[in-house]
Structure 1
Amino acid sequence: MNIFGIGLPEMALILVIALLVFGPKKLPEIGQSLGKAIRGFQEASREFETEFQKEARQLENSVKMKAQLEPENNKSVPTEESSSETTNT
């Protein structure tokens, strides 16, 4: 088991040191606060990912629509190459 590059023995050592520093009564409160902070970070991360995907889809759709409109515009408006070819022949 390897979380954040920390193995099980290192996690046990950190837990023992935290238990000595903060005491058994304060440790659950610290764990709860840490859990809430991690949960909030995960929610913010999911929200950011959702917004990013939404914007990417909107951008992709606008590019597709623009690509669909360009051939229609090119059919009705002659380009310089096509007008110069017709005058040379």
Structure 2
Amino acid sequence: MLRNGLEPWHLLIVAVVVIALFASKKLPDTARALGKSMRILKSEAKAMKDADAQEPRTDPQT
């Protein structure tokens, strides 16, 4: 009867329902913080790439 009772998509649906019921007030703040963190990470990665491109390469063996 419950041979394939809990498949991964069942767990996904349960997780979405739990998040919607218990964490709905904190979701906008969490999403905002995640977006801000991603923007910071992206800008820092770009700055590191630009800094590497501007530095002249030196040969460590000479």
TM-score tier, shorter chain, comes to 0.5 to 0.7
Q: Structure 2 vs 1, CA of residues 30 and 18 (structure 1 numbering), >3 Å: closer, same or farther?
A: farther
Number of aligned residue pairs: 47
What TM-score, normalized to structure 1? 0.42
TM normalised by structure 2 equals: 0.57
5+ unaligned residues in a row in structure 2: which ranges? 1-7
> Structure 2 CA distance, aligned partners of 1:51 and 1:18?
45
Which runs of 5 or more residues in structure 1 are unaligned? 1-8, 61-89
Displacement of 1:16 in angstroms is 1.5
Is 1:52 the counterpart of 2:52 in the alignment? yes
Alignment RMSD, CA only?
A: 3.0
- Distance (whole Å) between structure 2 residues aligned to residue 28 and residue 42 of structure 1: 21
Equivalent position of 1:63 in the other structure: none
After superposition, what is the alpha-carbon deviation per residue over 1:13-54, rounded to whole angstroms, capped at 9, x for unaligned?
A: 3x7177258511101100110111111000000000000000
Say whether 1:39 aligns with 2:46: no
List 4+ stretches of structure 1 deviating above 6 A. none
Instruction: Quote the residue 1:5 is aligned against.
Output: none
Q: SS of the residue aligned with 2:16?
A: helix
Q: Which has the larger radius of gyration?
A: 1
Q: Percent identity, aligned pairs only?
A: 28
Residue type at the aligned position of 2:54: K
